[in-house]
Amino acid sequence: MKGNKRGTKSDEALLDIIREYPGLSQYELSRKLRWSSGHVDSSVRRLMKSNKVFLRVMERNGRRLNLVYPEEKKPSTLIEVPSELLEAENPAWNDQAYFYALDSSTIGVSGSPMPEWGEISCFAEKVPIRKEEEKLLFNIPESFWRFYNLNKKHRVVTVNGNAVLVTVSGDIIEEKAYPS
């Protein structure tokens, strides 16, 4: 019985971290929680079995990584950024987000036009911003989705100053969920 309680507590702690940081690898989760990789793997397997998480298998530089996502947070075209990370009250992040294809692996997003990005980008597009519960939300435009092949690529969203950078890397080669 003790093992079950400990497993349940581990699973809950891990699921909280996965919800806060969706898309981390099992290695990154073990480092964040200071758990052994076996402990994380066992907990991820139990969470998959209860349909609370799923894995996206990514290949980058010849290595495979299992990226763990909460079931309710399937990757989508939506980018969510906590308002406190950006100067969201700044009029720059008012109505529109400006997307710039900066290079083959980087998308720049700003709340106002960035002429220096405009000069070097392959193409640019603007989309409406939604504000919900201390978050800014905007959808990656279809042209960017196709150009970067985002349905088959891993992406990482970071905030740099008052801009958002989306780094595209690694091929998603498989999605794993517990078979029904």
Looking at residue 152, its pLDDT comes to 86
Q: What single-letter DSSP state applies at residue 89?
A: T
Q: Which domain holds residue 160?
A: 78-174
Domain co-membership, 60 together with 87 = no
DSSP β-ladder status, 78-82 and 96-103: unpaired
Given this model, what pLDDT does residue 166 score?
A: 94
CB 77, CB 69: distance < 8 Å = no
pLDDT tens by residue, the chain, 180 residues: 344 666 788 899 999 999 888 888 899 999 999 999 999 999 999 999 999 999 989 887 888 888 899 987 666 788 888 888 886 555 678 889 999 999 999 999 999 999 999 999 999 999 999 988 888 899 999 999 999 999 888 888 899 888 999 999 888 888 887 765
Handedness of CA 18, 58, 161, 76 (dihedral sign): negative
* Burial (Cβ within 10 Å: 0-12, 13-18, ≥19) of residue 151: exposed
pLDDT number for residue 2: 46
d(CA 33, CA 31) in angstroms, rounded, equals: 6
**Is 64 strand, coil or helix?**
strand
Task: Tell me: do 94 and 145 sit in the same domain.
Answer: yes
Residue 15's pLDDT is 94
In a domain, 95, yes or no: yes
Helix axes 37-49, 2-20, angle to 10 degrees: 90
| Final residue belonging to a domain, choices 40, 70, 100 | 70
Domain assignment present for residue 34? The answer is yes
Overall domain count for the chain: 2
Lookup: tokens for 109? 């997003």
The per-residue pLDDT for 89 is 55
Q: Are both 66 and 109 inside the same structural domain? A: no
Q: Which residue among 18, 35, 70 closes a domain? A: 70
Closest CA to 135 of 164, 114, 113: 164
Looking at the fold, whether 20 and 82 belong to one and the same domain comes out as: no
Determine, yes or no, domain membership for 180: no
52 and 91 part of one domain: no
pLDDT of residue 74: 64
Q: Is there a single domain that holds both residue 110 and residue 51? A: no
Q: How many other C-beta atoms are found inside a 10 Å radius of the C-beta of residue 142? A: 10
| pTM greater than 0.85 (yes/no) | no
| Entry field: residues in the chain | 180
Asked, for residue 137, whether it belongs to a domain, the answer is: yes
Q: For residue 179, tell me if it sits in a domain.
A: no
Cβ(107)–Cβ(100) below 8 Å: yes
